[in-house]
Chains A and B, each alone.
Chain A
Amino acid sequence: MSERITDPKITDPKATSWYEASARARLDGLLDSGTFREFIGPEQRRMSPHLPLFDLPRAFDDGMIVGAGRIDGKPVLVAAQEGRFMGGAFGEVHGAKLVGLLRAALVARPAAVLILFDTGGVRLQEANAGETAIAEVMRAIAQLRAAGVPVIGLIGGRAGAYGGGGLIAGTCSRLAISESGRISVSGPEVIETNKGAEEFDSRDRALVWRTMGGKHRRLTGGGDAFVDDTVAAFREAALALIGTAPAFDLATMEAEQARLEERLARFGECRDGTEIWARLGVNDPAAVPGMTTAEFDSLLASLGETHHDAR
C-alpha cells in the first residue's frame, strides 16, 4: 500500500504556497513548464525494502523525487523531498536517489543542482542506511562544488531541514529560506524529550521560529536569501543564488572559520534570537517576527553586514 499525496486545487502553481504544496507541485512551479523529467519515477515502484518489517506503508517514490529540468532556460538537476511521507526522512532508497543525482551531476555538469529540502532527518526504521547516505551526500556535494557546480538548497516545507538534513544544508553553496522554513540539528521535540521542557518547550512555536526559523537564519548568516512562501519567490531566489555560489576551497573554508568564530564571540552569551538581533543593530527586535518580506529586506539592507559569502 502506498500513501497518496495530493494537492489542493492549484490554479497558478507559481503563486501557490511552497509550504502547502507537495514536492511534485513545487517542482512543477519551480522549473520551466514541461521541462521536468524524473529519474526512477514512481511507476518503477522502487520502494523501501525495510518498511514492511515495521508494518508501515510505503511510497512508490520513497518520498524523494529526483530528475532534470530547466529554470529560465538553464539545465539543472533537482531533488525534492516529500515531507508528508514519513516526515521526508532519509532511508535507504530515499538517500540513494539523492546520492545518485549528485554523482550524475559530476558527469552531466548542469548549471546547478537544486535540493528542495523537507525532512525531519534520518528515518529511524532504516537509521544506519539513512545516516550513511547523509555522509555520502555530503561527500558528493563537496566533490561537486569543488568541480564548480553550485548546489542550492531551498527550505520552506512542513518538515523543515532537521537532523542530517540540517548538516546537508550547511554543505550547500547557497540557501534560500522562507519564514516557515527551519534549519536545525536537534529538533525542538528531540531537545525537549532529552533535556526537558525547561530547555526547549516545543509547543512554543514563536520560540521555535526565533531559534531556527528563516528570519533568524538569514539575519545570522545561516541562509543567503529570505523569500516569501510562494513557489515563484523560491524560483526567483534559486536563479539569483546560482550566480553567487562561492568556490569550495581553502580560502572559503578559512573565511567560514572566521565567520563562525566571530559569531561565537559576539553572540555566544545570548539566550534568545531577539538578543542576537539587538546586538546586530536591530532597533526593535520584538517587531522582527511580524515583518513582511519587504520590511525584512529593508531591515537587512539597513544592517549592511548580513552578506556572508563563506559557506
Chain B
Amino acid sequence: MTLAEILSSLFPEGHAVTAADGLVSGEGPFRGGRLAVIGIDGDTPLGVEGACRLAGHVLAVMRRGERTPILVAIDSDSQRMSRRDELLGLNEYLAHLAKTLLLADAKGHPTVGLIYGHSAAGAFIATALATRVLVGLPGANPSVMDLPSVARVTKLPLDRLEAMAKDTPVFAPGLDNMVKTGAVQGVLDPRAALGPQIAAVIDALPERDARDRAGRERGGRPIAEGIAAQVVREATQPDARA
C-alpha cells in the first residue's frame, strides 16, 4: 500500500497528515479522539534533521497532555550514511527519537509501528522498533542488510545464503523473517479498513515487551527469551547480590 492509501483507509473522514521531504506528520480523527501519525515515506534515509523533526512532533503530542495514540508509519532507507551526520552525532539524534517514543508510551500514549515499505538498520531501530508493538503490511521489506551485502561480509556464496535464508529466519531479510523473530507482531489485511485493525492492535497492547516470547514461539529466535529469563533468575536469587 502507498502512504496515501494507508491514510485514507485509516481516516475515511479525512485527515491532516502531510508528508514533506520524506517526513510524515499530522493527525486524524480516531475513535472519538485523534490518532497522531509520524513516519518516513519513499524509502528516505533518516539523518540528523529528520530525526530531530520527528522527535519534535512526538514531544508536541505529549505536551498536549492527552493520551493520543501515536502511529509510526515507515517506508525508509537505513540511517543516512554520511560523514556530516556522524560528525553531528547521528547516534544521539536517532536515540533521542527512540526515547521520545518510549517516553510517550510510558506516559500512556499507545505507540504502534506500521511498516509498509522498506526499512533498515538505525532508522528502523529509532522508529518502528521503538514502538510498543510493530505490525506490517504485505509487501513490506524490513532488513538489516541485503543478502548480496551479507555475502560480501560473511564471504559465503550468495546461492548458499539464499538456500540458508529459506529456513534460517535469524539472518535473512524480509517481513516474514521479522515476524518469526518477534520484531513484527503480525501482518494487517490491506483489503479491510485499517482504522479498526489499528484500534484492535491498541486494545491488545502487551503489558511487557513480548518480542522475545514471540520469537521463541515462532521459532525465529529460539533461545533469547530463555537466556534473558535465566539472567533475571540468577540476578535476583538472594545470594546473587554481591
Q: Which residues of A are in contact with B by a Cβ distance under 8 Å?
A: 35-37, 39-40, 46, 49-50, 53-54, 66, 68-70, 75, 77, 92-93, 95-97, 99-101, 103-105, 107-108, 122, 124-136, 138-140, 142-143, 146, 161, 163-164, 166-171, 183-186, 190-191, 194-195, 199-200, 211-212, 216-217, 220-222, 248-250, 253-254, 256-257, 260-261, 263-264, 267-268, 270-273, 276
Whether B212 and A136, one on each chain, are in contact in the complex, defined by CB atoms closer than 8 angstroms, is: yes
Residue of B nearest to A166 (CB): B91
Whether A49 and B231, one on each chain, are in contact in the complex, defined by CB atoms closer than 8 angstroms, is: no
Residue of B nearest to A276 (CB): B87
Contacts of B222 in A (CB 8 A): 49, 92
Using A93-B227, A100-B229 as known contacts, say yes or no to A191 and B83 having CB atoms under 8 A apart: yes
Whether A127 and B144, one on each chain, are in contact in the complex, defined by CB atoms closer than 8 angstroms, is: yes
15 examples of A-B residue contacts, CB within 8 angstroms: A100-B235, A122-B121, A124-B171, A127-B150, A128-B170, A129-B170, A139-B209, A164-B122, A166-B91, A184-B90, A195-B81, A222-B89, A248-B99, A250-B59, A256-B96
Contacts of B107 in A (CB 8 A): 250
Q: How far in angstroms is the closest Cβ of chain B from A137?
A: 10
Whether B171 and A125, one on each chain, are in contact in the complex, defined by CB atoms closer than 8 angstroms, is: yes
Residue of A nearest to B208 (CB): A103
Tell me whether B236 is interfacial, beta carbon within 8 Å.
yes
Tell me whether B164 is interfacial, beta carbon within 8 Å.
yes
Please list the 4 inter-chain residue pairs (A to B) with the smallest Cβ-Cβ separation, ordered nearest first. Answer: A170-B95, A100-B231, A166-B91, A104-B235
Whether A185 and B231, one on each chain, are in contact in the complex, defined by CB atoms closer than 8 angstroms, is: no
Whether B102 and A142, one on each chain, are in contact in the complex, defined by CB atoms closer than 8 angstroms, is: yes
Whether B170 and A101, one on each chain, are in contact in the complex, defined by CB atoms closer than 8 angstroms, is: no
Whether B231 and A40, one on each chain, are in contact in the complex, defined by CB atoms closer than 8 angstroms, is: yes
Whether B242 and A222, one on each chain, are in contact in the complex, defined by CB atoms closer than 8 angstroms, is: no
A194 to B153 Cα, complex, angstroms: 13
Whether B242 and A69, one on each chain, are in contact in the complex, defined by CB atoms closer than 8 angstroms, is: yes
A132 to B213 Cα, complex, angstroms: 12
Task: Point out the residue from A124, A194, A263 that lies within 8 Å of B88, measured CB to CB.
Answer: A263
Contacts of B82 in A (CB 8 A): 186, 191, 195, 199
Q: Mark B94-131, 1 if CB is under 8 A from A, else 0.
A: 11101110110011000000000000011011100110
Whether B164 and A264, one on each chain, are in contact in the complex, defined by CB atoms closer than 8 angstroms, is: no
Q: How far in angstroms is the closest Cβ of chain A from B59?
A: 6
Whether B242 and A96, one on each chain, are in contact in the complex, defined by CB atoms closer than 8 angstroms, is: no
Contacts of B211 in A (CB 8 A): 132, 135-136
Looking at B95, B103, B231, the one whose CB has the most chain A CB atoms below 10 A away is: B231
Say which size band chain B's interface belongs to: 35 or more
List the one stretch of B1-9, B34-42, B47-55, B192-200 in contact with chain A. Answer: B47-55
Residue of B nearest to A271 (CB): B84
Q: How far in angstroms is the closest Cβ of chain B from A292?
A: 24
Looking at B63, B164, B236, the one whose CB has the most chain A CB atoms below 10 A away is: B236
Q: How far in angstroms is the closest Cβ of chain B from A123?
A: 9
Task: Point out the residue from B55, B91, B92, B224 that lies within 8 Å of A92, measured CB to CB.
Answer: B224
Residue of B nearest to A273 (CB): B87
Known: A136-B211, A268-B49. 11 other contacts (CB 8 A): A35-B242, A39-B240, A101-B231, A134-B125, A136-B212, A146-B103, A199-B83, A221-B92, A248-B99, A253-B103, A260-B52
Using A54-B154, A138-B102 as known contacts, say yes or no to A185 and B240 having CB atoms under 8 A apart: no
A167 to B211 Cα, complex, angstroms: 19
Residue of B nearest to A311 (CB): B92
Contacts of A271 in B (CB 8 A): 83-84, 87
Tell me whether B138 is interfacial, beta carbon within 8 Å.
no
Using A100-B228, A132-B215, A140-B209 as known contacts, say yes or no to A70 and B242 having CB atoms under 8 A apart: yes
Task: Point out the residue from A97, A195, A211 that lies within 8 Å of B227, measured CB to CB.
Answer: A97
Contacts of B76 in A (CB 8 A): none
Q: How far in angstroms is the closest Cβ of chain A from B81?
A: 4
Contacts of B235 in A (CB 8 A): 39, 68, 77, 100-101, 104-105, 107-108
Using A134-B125, A135-B130 as known contacts, say yes or no to A104 and B232 having CB atoms under 8 A apart: yes
8 Å CB interface, B210-239 against A? 211-212, 215, 220-225, 227-232, 234-236
Task: Point out the residue from B87, B99, B130, B178 that lies within 8 Å of A128, measured CB to CB.
Answer: B178
Task: Point out the residue from A50, A100, A184 that lies within 8 Å of B168, measured CB to CB.
Answer: A50
Tell me whether B68 is interfacial, beta carbon within 8 Å.
no
Whether B124 and A185, one on each chain, are in contact in the complex, defined by CB atoms closer than 8 angstroms, is: no
Whether B212 and A96, one on each chain, are in contact in the complex, defined by CB atoms closer than 8 angstroms, is: yes
Whether A75 and B242, one on each chain, are in contact in the complex, defined by CB atoms closer than 8 angstroms, is: yes
Q: Mark B133-147, 1 if CB is under 8 A from A, else 0.
A: 000000000011100
